[in-house]
Each structure stands twice: as structure tokens, then as C-alpha cells.
Amino acid sequence: MNFDELKARTVNALEKLGGQRFSAEPGGYSLENWVRGVNVLLDEFEEKAGTARLSPEYLTKRRELNAALSKPVVVASIDDSISELRSGMAAVEGRIEAERTKRASRVAELKTEEAQCSSELEEERRRVAGEAPSPVKGSFFSRLLGRSETPAKVSENRIRELGAKLAAISEEVAEQKKQLKLVDLRTPGSPFVEDWDQLDSMQARLKELETERLERAQLVAERAEMMGSMAEALSRME
């Protein structure tokens, strides 16, 4: 392989390395792997080209490259922003979940109360159905004042009272279920529509920050610039 072919092959490899992306998965191809690959490529080029052919510009760019790649990648400010954003999201999600839990718990309580009331009502009806009419005369004074009540009348009032209570419970169950459903709706009418909008905005921002952090940690822009600069210096070598 002659020198021009060696240069062309190395420049092409540098351009590919400049646009290379890494895996975000643990154990995948990383920045450390990439740096080793660049060093192997350039070491091999220098060995085959010979020291006499290496231009001052190339040697300067190689030193600058080594210095740049030896610096630690700083993402602390982005991590702080991500942490703050996640705390805010947790607070919003907590408010929504607290309301959801409150409504669901109330529905469960009402259903238990509804079942008890319904059972009591049925029991009262069965008891009344099994009794023969037996008016209680009461005292003369009570009858005179119109305060005497037969057992049947007492039972009738109790049944009416239980029926009204059961209807009220059923109505509240329906209302609580409606409010519970509204908690998860992201449309006007939901008491949490602003919270859901805020949460959507936060999630979008979090995605942006995570992408920014990944690119910063992987030196995406810097690597492309460094490889381009290195390739230009190398291509100008005679």
C-alpha cells in the first residue's frame, strides 16, 4: 500500500469514527472503546507512514487530540437539572396519585356501606313480610294525642329510611366514580388537566435533557470536530 492509499484509508476511517454513535446499554460500545480505536488507527498510520512523513501540523493535532480526550467529561450541571426535574415530576404525580387513592378508597368505603344497608333493608322487608298485622292500642293518652304507632308502621318507616339511605349512597358512589375517572382525563373538566399538561411538558424536557446528557457524555459534537480536524491535517501531508 502506497502512502496516498494509506492516507485515504485513514482519512476515511477518521470520518467514520467522527460520526460513530455508542450504545446506551451497559457493556456496549463506549467512549473508552472509541478512544482506543482512534489511537490504534493513528498509531498504525504513523508506524506505516514513518516519522519522516509526519508533518508538524499533524503532530500538533495529535497532541491536541490526546489532550482533549484525556479530560474528564463533565455532565454534573445536566445531572442536577435532571434531578430537579424528576423531583418536580414526582410531586405532580404524587398529587394525582393522592387524589386517585382518596377517591378509590371512598368508593370502596361506600360500596361496603351500600352492601350493609342493602342487606339490612332486605332483612327488614323479610321480617315485615313474616309478621301478621297486630295493631298496638297503647294508652288512652297516647291515642288521644295521636302518637301511637303500630309495629307495621314502625317497620314501614324503617324501610323508607333505609331505602332513602341506600339511594343516597348509590348516588354518591356514582359521583365518586365519576370524579375518579376525571382524575386521569387530560381534557377540560378534569380537576388535574393543568397537572397533566405540566407533567407532559416535564417529560418532554426530561427527554431533551437525557439526550443532551448522552451526547455530552459521548462527546458527539466534539468527536466529529476532532476527527474532521485530524483528517484535514493528515490529508495535507505529502
Is the domain of 119 the same as that of 145?
A: yes
Is the domain of 69 the same as that of 159?
A: no
Is the domain of 19 the same as that of 55?
A: yes
Is the domain of 49 the same as that of 91?
A: no
Distance of CA 68 to the CA centre of its chain: 36
pLDDT in tens, 211-222: 999 888 888 889
Structure confidence at residue 187 (pLDDT)? 84
pLDDT band at residue 182 using 50, 70 and 90 as cut-offs? very high
Cβ atoms within 10 A of the Cβ of 213, count? 17
Is the domain of 126 the same as that of 184?
A: yes
Is the domain of 83 the same as that of 50?
A: no
Q: Where are the alpha helices (DSSP H) in the chain?
A: 3-18, 31-49, 56-70, 76-129, 140-145, 151-183, 193-217, 220-235
Is the domain of 197 the same as that of 129?
A: yes
Q: Is the pLDDT of residue 147 over 80?
A: no
pLDDT in tens, 33-82: 899 999 999 999 999 999 999 999 999 999 999 999 888 888 999 999 99
105-114, 136-145, 156-165: which range is least confident on average?
136-145
Rg (CA), the chain: 40
Q: Is the pLDDT of residue 145 over 80?
A: no
Is the domain of 103 the same as that of 122?
A: yes
For the chain, the domain total comes to: 2
Q: Is the pLDDT of residue 96 over 80?
A: yes
Cβ atoms within 10 A of the Cβ of 51, count? 8
Is the domain of 134 the same as that of 145?
A: yes
Average pLDDT over residues 128-136: 63
Is the domain of 144 the same as that of 162?
A: yes
Is the domain of 196 the same as that of 80?
A: yes
Mean pLDDT of the chain: 88
Structure confidence at residue 133 (pLDDT)? 54
User: DSSP class of residue 11?
Assistant: H
Is the domain of 180 the same as that of 225?
A: no
The model's pTM is: 0.67
Average pLDDT over residues 82-109: 96
Can you tell me the distance from the alpha carbon of 112 to that of 119, in angstroms, rounded to the nearest whole number?
11
At 228, the amino acid letter reads G
pLDDT band at residue 129 using 50, 70 and 90 as cut-offs? confident
pLDDT band at residue 143 using 50, 70 and 90 as cut-offs? low
Structural domain of 24: 3-73+219-235
